[in-house]
Structure 1
Amino acid sequence: MNIIDRRLNPKGKSLANRQRFLRRARKQILDAVREASAREGITGPSNHRIRIKADTLREPRLYQSGQGGERWHVAPGNKEYVEGDRIPRPPQSEGGGRGGSPDGDSEDAFHFVLSRDEFIDLFLEDLELPDLLRKELRDTEGATPRRAGFQISGAAANLNLVRTMRNSLSRRIALRRPRPEEIAAREEELARLRVSGDTDPETLARLAAELEAERRRARRVPFIDPVDVRYNRFEDVPRPAVSAVMFCLMDVSGSMTAHMKDLAKRFYKLLYLFLSRRYKRVEIVFIRHTHVAREVDEETFFSSTESGGTVVSTALEEMARVLRARYPRELWNIYAAQASDGDNMPADNPHAVALLEKVILPACQYFAYLEVGPEDERYGGATELWRAYQRLGQSGQPIAMRKVNHRSQIYPVFRQLFSRDKATRREGVG
């Protein structure tokens, strides 16, 4: 959704102030979209009703205050007052003459409906994959025009004046076209000789013939000739598409309750929506794990009901296997997002951390870890898996960690993990 002010800048109004007002209005809409996404969900209804306060959209203006100063008024005659009487000021309400509303607003809130596409575009507006680099060209995404020399025909807008004048000068020098200054000097000299009378007629005739020959040469050799004209030439250069892959690792073991799995699936649905809408050349690999891990398709990832024990290292081993088979790090930008409740076999934690530190993180641009917890209690302490991952983050590895307990936390956490602000990504791992 774009807010465009097409009004002319009227007299007495500041264009800069109006632009600040439009930016503030857009911020109000973005805030309302994010609040609605936390309340309703981003994959909910096809249309979303957005509410913002009307008084926040009023353009600021200067006006004459009615609270002070002296004023003269001409009023119709009446039977109650005579000349010299003092008329009391009528009382004013705090709401500026408007009645109050139950929620305390001085005016009714401003409601409008955004389509699902508009809603999602606004929600994902300032998100991106961190540290996306251009690797080897694997595919193209359109083309970009680039200067490629000159040509003898083209549109007037592409005329290269410098090259045209250079060609014209070279041609005139090669054909010995006399300059206008030289012809003017010969004309003055011939006129002076004729006036002085010191030169014989034969010499004057010869000088006149030479002058006429130079005039004919100047007419035969034009200042600008069609052969001089050159136009800028452009050719379309393929624009490389960035190659990236996102690994989605989800714990579906028995320790993950229905609430925890719902939180993880909501996070991954939002991630899938974000990647599919913002990037055309990003592949997504889905991996589910219990005490074993396997790569699955999208439908199985979100709908399968299998369960079992918990061995986190199996998901990392499966990711490493897929990396070796299909996604060499010199050709791909590699990302991963892991969701778990932090429960793992104690004997497996060292192996999982070693895999992450020596195999996964060196290949990744960015690794996001989301730890989900029960809704009816707050975290009293960190899990063993969280503390192990936390040590990696504190050592400078490209890993970001967040915890969620409620649905309303999914959207703010997602924005923190994939915000354009690098400081937010590298911020605390707690």
Structure 2
Amino acid sequence: MTYFIDRRPNAKHKSAVNRQRFLERYRKHIKRSVEDAVNRRSITDMERGEKISIPTKDISEPVFQHGPGGARNIVSPGNKEFVQGDRIRRPGGQGGGNGAGEGGASNQGEGNDEFAFTLTREEFLEFVFDGLELPHLQRKPLKSLEEVKMVRAGLSRDGVPARISITRSMREAYARRIAMRAPIKRALKEAIEALEEEERKDSVLRNPARITELKADIERLQKRIEAVPFIDTYDLRYHQLSAQPQPSSQAVMFCVMDVSGSMTQNHKDIAKRFFLLLYMFLEKHYEKVELVFVRHHTAAREVSEEEFFYSRETGGTIVSSALKLVNTIIKARYPPEKWNLYVAQASDGDNWDDDSNTCREMLVKQLMPQLQYYAYVEITPHDHQSLWHEYESVAGHFPERFAMRQIVEASDIYSVFRELFKRRLSQTN
């Protein structure tokens, strides 16, 4: 009989297995609550857990029970109390029902509360980013020897128990036993034949001393055979591992944010929340992704994470300055043949007079041939301006790798983020 023992550590009085089963069963309700939580949260508390409530009627389970039994005469549809034309008296009381079993108020003081529980930080983020991924992520040629895979490279006599080769060790032990027992068995066979020959002689010719000696030899040889160990440390063989270089799926994400004067504080807050979601998503799901933060107005600068989210610098608007800086950084530090390159841009769409044409030319001729994916979000409740229309032309050239969405208010952030980074079924890594 086989026994499976779950040794995962559980918190006191809690079962990790049952909790995961519960989360999976009510995934639809939890995801709805998580989406509402993301939309109403501020930037500073995006990563904490969340208290979730599920109506009791949604967690009820069907059960088998005994029916009334016996012989019954039923006429359906219809009833025994009313006929056509009867007037039904209005129910008494102030409420529209007794509330029992519905979670509502009752004049009898009875009802059911909603079932509430708290998602941990990890569980909350798991639901937030469920079904998302970096589009078109590819395996790139090796950049350095940092990323390796340990593969089996023959056998050795030294190693740790976890890497022992059972089959090879038993084969070695079997060969050793054969080799060690073979001469002893030959001597044993000769001694037995000599004893049998001596015992077949007549009592006059039989040598009792010789018989005693042969019996002692047989007993000694049998003990030597039994003393040969079934397995010895000499027999043990271990799988030897060697580091084999692997293609790297390393990627870099350029976060480009417009901080010009036309971006109101509300626009900037929405952009920061979008990029914070992106930052958390990459941090949780990818180990080999680097982040480059770029802020721009009339000029663009590469900044630190803290300055990207909290600096108050502002000015006019020249979007092409950010694209030129991104292209310069790619040439200097991130060659496309070794890196997966991504850009996420947030702006209100306002731009200098003829700069939108420059942006289109740069994207089509320089940036997009190098990038895996470009995501542009325009934060504005108004009609689109020239930058959006020029970007539409870029999307026409690269329909699979250039995506653009509009955000009107904070409640749109999460849905737009999921649209931009949803898992593509046809994607191959």
Please give the secondary structure, in 2, of the residue aligned with 1:338. Answer: strand
Deviations 1:228-253 (A, max 9, x none): 42142455859988532211122233
Q: Is 1:286 matched up with 2:293?
A: yes
- Opposite residue 421 of structure 2, the aligned amino acid is F
Pick from 54, 57, 62 the counterpart of residue 56 of structure 2. 54
In 2, are the aligned partners of 1:164 and 1:228 still within 8 Å (CA)? no
Pick from 332, 343, 351 the counterpart of residue 358 of structure 2. 351
Aligned partner of 2:418 in structure 1 is 415
Aligned partner of 1:307 in structure 2 is 315
Please give the secondary structure, in 2, of the residue aligned with 1:328. Answer: coil
Q: Is 1:319 matched up with 2:326?
A: yes
In 1, are the aligned partners of 2:31 and 2:128 still within 8 Å (CA)? yes
CA distance in 2 between counterparts of 1:284 and 1:152 reads 43
CA distance in 2 between counterparts of 1:19 and 1:248 reads 34
Judged with a 3 Å threshold, the aligned counterparts in structure 2 of structure 1 residues 224 and 50 are, in CA distance, closer, same or farther, namely closer
Please give the secondary structure, in 2, of the residue aligned with 1:101. Answer: coil
TM-score (structure 1 length as normaliser): 0.69
1:322 CA drift (Å): 0.8
1:361 CA drift (Å): 1.9
Deviations 1:327-381 (A, max 9, x none): 122332221101223344564444322321232222222221112212xx57799
In 1, are the aligned partners of 2:349 and 2:386 still within 8 Å (CA)? no
Trace 1:20-99 onto structure 2 (pairs within 5 A): 23-41=24-42, 43-44=44-45, 48-58=50-60, 60-64=61-65, 68-70=68-70, 98=101
CA distance in 1 between counterparts of 2:269 and 2:20 reads 42
Please give the secondary structure, in 2, of the residue aligned with 1:30. Answer: helix
Trace 1:249-268 onto structure 2 (pairs within 5 A): 249-268=256-275
CA distance in 2 between counterparts of 1:393 and 1:219 reads 80
Judged with a 3 Å threshold, the aligned counterparts in structure 2 of structure 1 residues 333 and 380 are, in CA distance, closer, same or farther, namely closer
In 2, are the aligned partners of 1:417 and 1:424 still within 8 Å (CA)? no
CA distance in 2 between counterparts of 1:118 and 1:69 reads 47
Query: What root-mean-square deviation, in Å, do the aligned CA atoms of Structure 1 and Structure 2 show?
Result: 4.8
Q: Is 1:136 matched up with 2:138?
A: no
1:144 CA drift (Å): 6.3
1:271 CA drift (Å): 1.7
Judged with a 3 Å threshold, the aligned counterparts in structure 2 of structure 1 residues 380 and 298 are, in CA distance, closer, same or farther, namely closer
Q: Is 1:406 matched up with 2:409?
A: yes
1:315 CA drift (Å): 1.7
Judged with a 3 Å threshold, the aligned counterparts in structure 2 of structure 1 residues 391 and 108 are, in CA distance, closer, same or farther, namely same
Please give the secondary structure, in 2, of the residue aligned with 1:422. Answer: coil
CA distance in 2 between counterparts of 1:226 and 1:152 reads 13
- Opposite residue 139 of structure 2, the aligned amino acid is L
Please give the secondary structure, in 1, of the residue aligned with 2:26. Answer: helix
In 1, are the aligned partners of 2:141 and 2:338 still within 8 Å (CA)? yes
In 2, are the aligned partners of 1:248 and 1:268 still within 8 Å (CA)? yes
Trace 1:103-118 onto structure 2 (pairs within 5 A): 107-114=112-119
1:94 CA drift (Å): 8.9
1:320 CA drift (Å): 0.6
Judged with a 3 Å threshold, the aligned counterparts in structure 2 of structure 1 residues 364 and 165 are, in CA distance, closer, same or farther, namely same
> Equivalent pairs: percent with the same residue?
35
CA distance in 2 between counterparts of 1:423 and 1:328 reads 28
Please give the secondary structure, in 2, of the residue aligned with 1:363. Answer: coil
- Opposite residue 392 of structure 2, the aligned amino acid is R
Aligned partner of 2:90 in structure 1 is none
1:108 CA drift (Å): 2.0
CA distance in 1 between counterparts of 2:354 and 2:383 reads 26
Pick from 387, 390, 407 the counterpart of residue 385 of structure 1. 390
Aligned partner of 1:296 in structure 2 is 303
CA distance in 2 between counterparts of 1:148 and 1:31 reads 53
Deviations 1:378-410 (A, max 9, x none): 77999422422321233x4x2222221111010
Please give the secondary structure, in 2, of the residue aligned with 1:50. Answer: strand
CA distance in 2 between counterparts of 1:277 and 1:164 reads 42
CA distance in 1 between counterparts of 2:20 and 2:290 reads 39
Judged with a 3 Å threshold, the aligned counterparts in structure 2 of structure 1 residues 409 and 387 are, in CA distance, closer, same or farther, namely same
Judged with a 3 Å threshold, the aligned counterparts in structure 2 of structure 1 residues 33 and 100 are, in CA distance, closer, same or farther, namely closer
Pick from 112, 123, 127 the counterpart of residue 128 of structure 2. 123
Aligned partner of 1:367 in structure 2 is 374
CA distance in 2 between counterparts of 1:255 and 1:425 reads 38
Deviations 1:197-247 (A, max 9, x none): 9xx979xx89x9699679828825826352542142455859988532211
CA distance in 1 between counterparts of 2:133 and 2:56 reads 32
Deviations 1:102-134 (A, max 9, x none): 6xxx73222334455653454235433331535
CA distance in 1 between counterparts of 2:112 and 2:384 reads 42
Aligned partner of 1:10 in structure 2 is none
Deviations 1:308-332 (A, max 9, x none): 13x3322211111111111122332
- Opposite residue 226 of structure 1, the aligned amino acid is D
In 2, are the aligned partners of 1:339 and 1:371 still within 8 Å (CA)? yes
Aligned partner of 2:89 in structure 1 is none
Please give the secondary structure, in 2, of the residue aligned with 1:272. Answer: helix
CA distance in 2 between counterparts of 1:424 and 1:341 reads 32
Q: Is 1:164 matched up with 2:169?
A: yes
Aligned partner of 1:333 in structure 2 is 340
In 2, are the aligned partners of 1:138 and 1:243 still within 8 Å (CA)? no
- Opposite residue 182 of structure 2, the aligned amino acid is R
In 1, are the aligned partners of 2:23 and 2:30 still within 8 Å (CA)? no
